[in-house]
Amino acid sequence: MPDSPQDQTTQGHSETWTLLKLLRWTTNYFAEKGIDNPRLDAELLLADVLRLDRVGLYLNYDRPLSHDELDVVRPLVKKRGQREPLQYLLGTTEFWSLPFKVTPAVLIPRADTEILVEEALARAGSVGELLDVGTGSGAIVISLASELPDWKLTGLDISAAALTIARENIEINQVAERVQLVQGDLAELPAQQYDLIVSNPPYIAQQEWDELMPEVRCFEPQLALLAENEGLECYQQLAAQAGSRLKSGGWLLFEVGYQQADSVQELLTAAGLSNLFVRKDYSGQSRVVGGQKL
């Protein structure tokens, strides 16, 4: 492997780094560090730094990079090699085809969570009120607001830092007139009733912590990940409030973790909800569990 772009600067080498050469070096470096999809991450990182899209990268393979550009790339490549999530390095991600700012104050929205949005939309009438519990970046509530123009939507989170990011995302996606944010604990939901309550709550059990990918374990907020009672505590607290916080005919919908669907269905049954269902994601994993108050 040739000298890295770091070496070029620190050792005074005059070797020219073209975009293609840097892309290949970065891809190999990420692969050695155990990063999934190293080529894609390398492309996205370099495209962001150079203000190009991925097609633009292909059209500029022979372009030499300046020392200033290498100075910007160098620390980002190093941080990604240390498994810091690419989305935090870029500061943005996409969810439901919408742009979202993300920082280590919030979980990175995952594509699997779009299943929860799909199921909420399938049960939403033309007008109603919705509560998103543990809103984080606001990805779920903002995505639903983009599809439900006549609904009143609320995002609840205990973290002031997360709500700051959610407010920015509300402005970015121009839904401020229909989405309000509330700081509070999911153990005591706002004292009103909703047509839909949705939540992707913390559901990682302590005993599962060491098995998580370094990107999650070392960088994403534990507050939004860990839950007591083998990961079921938040589901227990929310299910216990379903009877008083749902309108007649209203739905409670959860994203669930690995092998939690059966336990969460039992909680919803004990809470008196009916029409229970489980929706799998596109990899075949049980992803959303829901029930209705009759």
User: Quick one: average pLDDT of 57-78?
Assistant: 93
Q: What pTM value is reported for the model?
A: 0.90
Of residues 145 and 210, more confidence is placed in 145
CATH number of 5-82: 1.10.8.10
- Judge whether residue 211 has pLDDT over 80: yes
pLDDT in tens, 244-276: 999 999 999 999 998 899 999 999 999 999 999
What stretch(es) of the chain map to CATH 1.10.8.10?
A: 5-82
* Range with lowest mean pLDDT among 1-5, 161-165, 176-180, 191-195: 1-5
Confidence tier at 5 by pLDDT (50, 70, 90): low
Query: What CATH architecture is 92-292?
Result: 3-Layer(aba) Sandwich (3.40)
Confidence tier at 12 by pLDDT (50, 70, 90): very low
What stretch(es) of the chain map to CATH 3.40.50.150?
A: 92-292
- What's residue 156's pLDDT? 97
Confidence tier at 207 by pLDDT (50, 70, 90): confident
Query: What HEC string does the chain produce?
Result: CCCCHHHHHHCCCCCCCEHHHHHHHHHHHHHHCCCCCHHHHHHHHHHHHHCCCHHHHHHCCCCECCHHHHHHHHHHHHHHHCCCCHHHHHCEEEECCEEEECCCCCCCCCHHHHHHHHHHHHCCCCCEEEEEECCCCCHHHHHHHHHCCCEEEEEEECCHHHHHHHHHHHHHCCCCCCEEEEECCCCCCCCCCEEEEEECCCCECHHHHHHCCHHHHCCCCHHHCECHHHHCHHHHHHHHHHHHHEEEEEEEEEECCCCCHHHHHHHHHHCCCEEEEEEECCCCCEEEEEEECC
Percentage of the chain beyond pLDDT 70 is 95
- Judge whether residue 3 has pLDDT over 70: no
